[in-house]
Amino acid sequence: MTEAVLQLKGLQKAFGALVVTDKVDLDLHPGECHALIGPNGAGKSTLIHQVSGLLQPDAGRIAFEGRDVTGQKQHERAVAGLGRSFQITSILPDFTVLENVALAAQMRAGSSMRFFRRADREEALNAAAMTALDRIGLAPRAAAMAGALSYGEKRMLELAIAIAGKPRALLLDEPMAGMGRAESESLTDTLLELKATYPMLLIEHDMEAVFRLADRVSVLVAGAIVATGTPDEVRADPKARAAYLGEDHAEGAA
Amino acid sequence: MTDQAHMQAPVAATPRAPLIVASVIFAALALIPVLAEAWGGAWLTSLAVRAMILAIVAISLDLLMGQGGMVSFGHSAFVAIGAYACGIMITEGVYEMALILPVAIAAAGLFALISGAICLRTSGVSFIMITLAFGQMIYFALGSLAQYGADDGLTLWSGPDFLGTSWLGSDMGVYVTVFAVLLATWALVHRITGARFGRVLRAARQNPTRVASMGYSVFRYRLTAYVIAGVIAAIAGVLWATHAAFISPSLGAWQRSGDLIVMVVLGGMATRNGALLGALFFILIEETLSSITHDWRLIFGPLLVLIALYARGGLVGLLDRVRGPR
Amino acid sequence: MSSILILIQLLNGLQLGVILFLIAAGLTLVFGVMGFINLAHGVQYMLGAYLAVYLYGLTGSFMAALVLALPLALLLGLVLEFLVFRHLYDRDHLSQVLATFGVILFLNQLMKVLFGPASLSVPPPAFLDFSFTLVDGLLYPAYRVALIVAGLLVALGLWLVITRTRVGMLIRAGATNPDMVSALGVNVRRLFLIVFGFGAMLAGFAGVMAAPLYSVEPGMGDNLLIVAFVVIIIGGAGSIRGAFVAALLVGLVDTLGRTLVTDGLRLVMDPSSANQIGPAIASMLIYVLMALVLFWRPEGLFAPKVAR
């Protein structure tokens, strides 16, 4: 097996007495989409937050491209190449769509401690932003204020921001959350294209999307991973079914 | 995907109106010495100098408050640091502005760096209170400098030299200098806001978590802005000491910081001319009301409450509404 | 320095701490429960002191003035809440700062108009107008001791209210999780009003009690307000226990610092430099303390745990 891009070892996190991450081992390989599924409150977002650096784990180790990033801050991990999207839309509402994405591109284009030249006239940044927007399919809305976008468009912007920062892996926290069926399907198509470039750790409730996108699926219950495997394996795994796949009577039926 | 029309990045045009407003303001300020000459009122130039110095400080505060979302309630401390750097050096026999200014900048910059690094560990209301506390710390520290007048302040019996000349000894010299510094500050802060640095700062006001997840150290950008604003305020403090020839700890009192916040909000936060207009208008209100009654704060206080409750957007917002929807 | 002088300084520090606590208690609750930054809280303290002056002039009795001042301070607090503050709960902090700053300007000036700019004072009640002898020739005024005792009793009472009553439970819950409290069907507006009025009364009480000790003048609450902010930053916003510990700490550090720092500096430098630098450092001590606490624990010593 190839060297893992991202590797979590024995990750542990508790809020008081509530264990939200329980000795999680997980890895992500180049070109792979690894989906994380589980019931609400299983600790999926908390796990992503620890990987992106928004939360610090109590114990365990996070390695990215072979380097230990556990002690690094959020922005340091982003610089290292961990891009992410948020479950609850997190954009810059007072900026235009273009400026949202250009700011993400700016991070990779030399120092941002520049005080005189107008940033919105920097062709290279705008072009990089347009490329990212085009890839997501949001280019026609480049001039709109981000706060005025429709919900679905905001979710797309979220993704455009993430890829404009030239990440080497993507952490996607429910990119389809709250989307309609058609929007959701078209976003899945986009993600399928992106998958070739960016390994993804994906949290998603939309099972159809998960089974289209994921190469491997891990099931998280009460902070612990109860099953990992290919989508088909997980579908067949009785523990995973009991825990998540909507088969509440799995035990009774068995 | 390769549709050319899509690939063209839309570039925002620069709105003309703020430039026109600014031109009018600066032209009026440039005319004041001439008018004062005609009416023989030295108080008018003195008033305008006072207003312009406050406008410099207000513009620097807007960089923090309006653009950076950091409501500092201790900004007048930096004015006091600049004024005391000037006053102390003159008292000790150093008259050259080319020496005074770097010392004032270094002192304010250092204090901004240290206090800012602590203040920025918090945000929101805590940030307001902590900047307030650091401002008080400077206020009391200056008030206990027995050899420099303590609470009573310090009169400067002679003003600073400017590169060996007595340029800053004349009212006109001071007026022109303050005018130039104001113009430079106004232009500089606008440039900073629009540049890469300002973009990160403005983004961090809207959504610091997102900006961090893009790979920016929000702390570093905010601290840099804090230092820049502090240094500008200290330069204004040096000008104040030069103009007034008297300094006292009350320059750094928290009520002065409150006045500065009022100016910025009154004018309109995070707008090109808001802080400038706000400071000038503040002095105008103060002057007008205090000519009507000695107890002008009885009117001004409730006025502030009304502004806080009903007049967000400030004067600039009002101007926009007068011009009507475009 | 003799130990008896240190004892006196300790008592003075305790007494300042008690006044700070009475002011900070209301401030920290208003801030913790409502997320409301009330700069005008220091003004409530000033109003209490002026009420003492006015009512003492009417009745000629300090105790009568105290008893009458408390409901009036409460009433003034409620009037302010009704006229200004309740319109600000949902607004951003900047609006709150601006509006309450306006209230300060107005009321400080109003006191100047009504009572004149000069410092006023009130004599302590006759039955407390004597001094304890600490040691031969060194006296300590009974009134100051009474103030310390009264303050500690109020702190105890407040602690009982907060920990043992339903309102107290709601206040604690509100400081931790305001949304939950409103979800419980509690009338949050009324809870705010209670907390607010109560805080105003405590600050007014501090003002009345301070009137015989400090000069009563316009703006007298302004600087104490900032120190009260330091107290709630150190103690942790929303925590009565934190406010209590931090108030005593700040009172002691400030009072002892003013004598000990200069004395200490005299040991390492010549007396005249020590006399010049000492006061400057002493006046910064509580802010240094605050900075240290913040550095070590940004949310304060006793911050209520926020449920997320």
State pLDDT tens for residues A152-167.
999 999 999 999 999 9
Per-residue pLDDT tens for B4-15? 444 567 766 677
Q: How confident is the model at residue C308 (pLDDT cuts 50, 70, 90)?
A: very low
Q: Are B130 and C294 in contact (CB under 8 A)?
A: yes
Spell out which residues of chain B touch residue A113, defining contact as CB-CB under 8 Å: 196-197, 224
What confidence score (pLDDT) does residue B123 get? 82
Q: How confident is the model at residue C265 (pLDDT cuts 50, 70, 90)?
A: confident
The C-alpha of C172 sits at a distance from chain B's nearest C-alpha, in angstroms, of 19
Q: Which of C37, C279, C298 sits opposite B125 (nearest CB)?
A: C37
Q: What is the mean pLDDT of chain B?
A: 91
**Average pLDDT, integer, range B257-278:** 94
What confidence score (pLDDT) does residue C304 get? 66
Higher pLDDT among residues B4 and C294, named by residue? C294
**Average pLDDT, integer, range A118-140:** 95
What confidence score (pLDDT) does residue C118 get? 93
Residue of C nearest to B126 (CA): C233
**DSSP run (H or E) holding B249:** none
Q: What is the mean pLDDT of chain C?
A: 88
Question: How far is the CA of C43 from the CAs of C115, C217, C221, C223, in angstroms?
Answer: 15, 11, 5, 10
What confidence score (pLDDT) does residue C261 get? 87
**Average pLDDT, integer, range B102-131:** 92
Query: Is residue B1 over pLDDT 70?
Result: no
What confidence score (pLDDT) does residue C242 get? 92
Cα end-to-end span (Å), chain C: 51
Interface contact flag, B304 C98, Cβ < 8 Å: yes
- Is the minimum CB–CB distance between B311 and chain C shorter than 8 Å? no
Measured in degrees and rounded to the nearest 5, phi and psi for residue A124 equal: -60, -40
Sequence-separated (6 or more) residues with CB below 8 Å from residue C137: none
Query: Is residue B144 over pLDDT 90?
Result: no
Q: Side chain identity at B221, as an amino acid letter?
A: Y
Measured in degrees and rounded to the nearest 5, phi and psi for residue A168 equal: -105, -5
Please identify which residue in the block is written with the tokens 């991070």. Answer: A107
The C-alpha of C39 sits at a distance from chain B's nearest C-alpha, in angstroms, of 10
The share of chain B scoring above pLDDT 70, in percent, equals 94
Helix (H, G, I), strand (E, B) or coil at C134: strand
Q: CA gyration radius for chain B? A: 20
**Average pLDDT, integer, range B188-214:** 97
The C-alpha of B108 sits at a distance from chain A's nearest C-alpha, in angstroms, of 20
What confidence score (pLDDT) does residue B5 get? 42
Q: Which of A231-235, B219-223, B289-293, C168-172 has the lowest mean pLDDT?
A: C168-172
What confidence score (pLDDT) does residue C170 get? 82
Spell out which residues of chain B touch residue A90, defining contact as CB-CB under 8 Å: 207, 209-210, 213
| Partners of chain A (3+ Cβ pairs below 8 A) | B
Its pTM stands at 0.91
Taking Cα atoms as reference points, which of C287, C282, C171, C203 lies closest to residue C18?
C203
B-contacting residues in A 115-134 (Cβ below 8 Å): 115-123, 126-127, 129-131, 134
Q: Which of A187-191, B243-247, C126-130, C170-174 has the lowest mean pLDDT?
A: C170-174
- Is the minimum CB–CB distance between B307 and chain C shorter than 8 Å? yes
Burial of B152 (0-12, 13-18, 19+ CB in 10 A): exposed
CA distance B303 to C105: 10
Interface contact flag, B133 C230, Cβ < 8 Å: yes
- Is the minimum CB–CB distance between B166 and chain C shorter than 8 Å? no
Sequence-separated (6 or more) residues with CB below 8 Å from residue A135: A160, A163, A190, A193, A194, B1
Q: Side chain identity at C267, as an amino acid letter?
A: L
CA distance C284 to C290: 10
Query: Is residue B117 over pLDDT 80?
Result: yes
What confidence score (pLDDT) does residue B12 get? 65
B-contacting residues in A 31-50 (Cβ below 8 Å): none
Give the residue from C29, C91, C97 with the most B CB atoms within 10 Å of its CB, the best one to mutate: C97
The share of chain C scoring above pLDDT 70, in percent, equals 94
The C-alpha of C128 sits at a distance from chain B's nearest C-alpha, in angstroms, of 34
Spell out which residues of chain C touch residue B129, defining contact as CB-CB under 8 Å: 37, 229-230, 232-233
Q: Which of B10, B202, B209 sits opposite A142 (nearest CB)?
A: B10
Interface contact flag, A130 B8, Cβ < 8 Å: yes
Per-residue pLDDT tens for B185-196? 999 999 999 999
Per-residue pLDDT tens for B169-185? 888 999 999 999 999 99
CA distance C233 to A70: 31
Q: Give ipTM to 2 decimals.
A: 0.91
Query: In which order are the strands placed within the sheet that holds A6-15?
Result: A18-28, A6-15, A59-64, A67-68
What confidence score (pLDDT) does residue A250 get? 38
Q: Quote the crossing angle between the two packed helices C3-34 and C220-235, to the nearest 10°.
A: 80
Burial of B288 (0-12, 13-18, 19+ CB in 10 A): exposed
Task: Work out whether strand A216-221 and strand B246-247 pair parallel, antiparallel, or are unpaired.
Answer: unpaired
Q: How confident is the model at residue C249 (pLDDT cuts 50, 70, 90)?
A: very high
Interface contact flag, C99 B308, Cβ < 8 Å: yes
Of B287-296, B315-324, C262-271, the range with the highest mean pLDDT is B287-296
Per-residue pLDDT tens for A32-91? 999 999 888 889 999 999 999 999 999 999 999 999 999 999 999 999 999 999 988 999
Interface contact flag, C109 B307, Cβ < 8 Å: no
What confidence score (pLDDT) does residue B319 get? 79
Q: How confident is the model at residue A251 (pLDDT cuts 50, 70, 90)?
A: very low
Spell out which residues of chain B touch residue A105, defining contact as CB-CB under 8 Å: none
Beta bridge partners of C135: C138
Interface contact flag, C98 B307, Cβ < 8 Å: yes
What confidence score (pLDDT) does residue A244 get? 64
Higher pLDDT among residues C72 and C89, named by residue? C72
What confidence score (pLDDT) does residue A252 get? 35
- Is the minimum CB–CB distance between B198 and chain A shorter than 8 Å? yes
Question: How far is the CA of C75 from the CAs of B23, C34, C70, C71, in angstroms?
Answer: 51, 20, 9, 6
The share of chain A scoring above pLDDT 90, in percent, equals 76
Interface contact flag, B262 C223, Cβ < 8 Å: no
Interface contact flag, C295 B118, Cβ < 8 Å: yes
- Is the minimum CB–CB distance between B265 and chain C shorter than 8 Å? yes
Q: What angle do CA A62, C295, C279 make, to 5 degrees?
A: 165
Of A103-107, B159-163, B264-268, the range with the highest mean pLDDT is A103-107
Spell out which residues of chain B touch residue C31, defining contact as CB-CB under 8 Å: 125
What confidence score (pLDDT) does residue B78 get? 98
Spell out which residues of chain A touch residue B208, defining contact as CB-CB under 8 Å: none
> Hey, how many other C-beta atoms are within 10 angstroms of the C-beta on C268?
8
Q: Are B6 and A139 in contact (CB under 8 A)?
A: yes
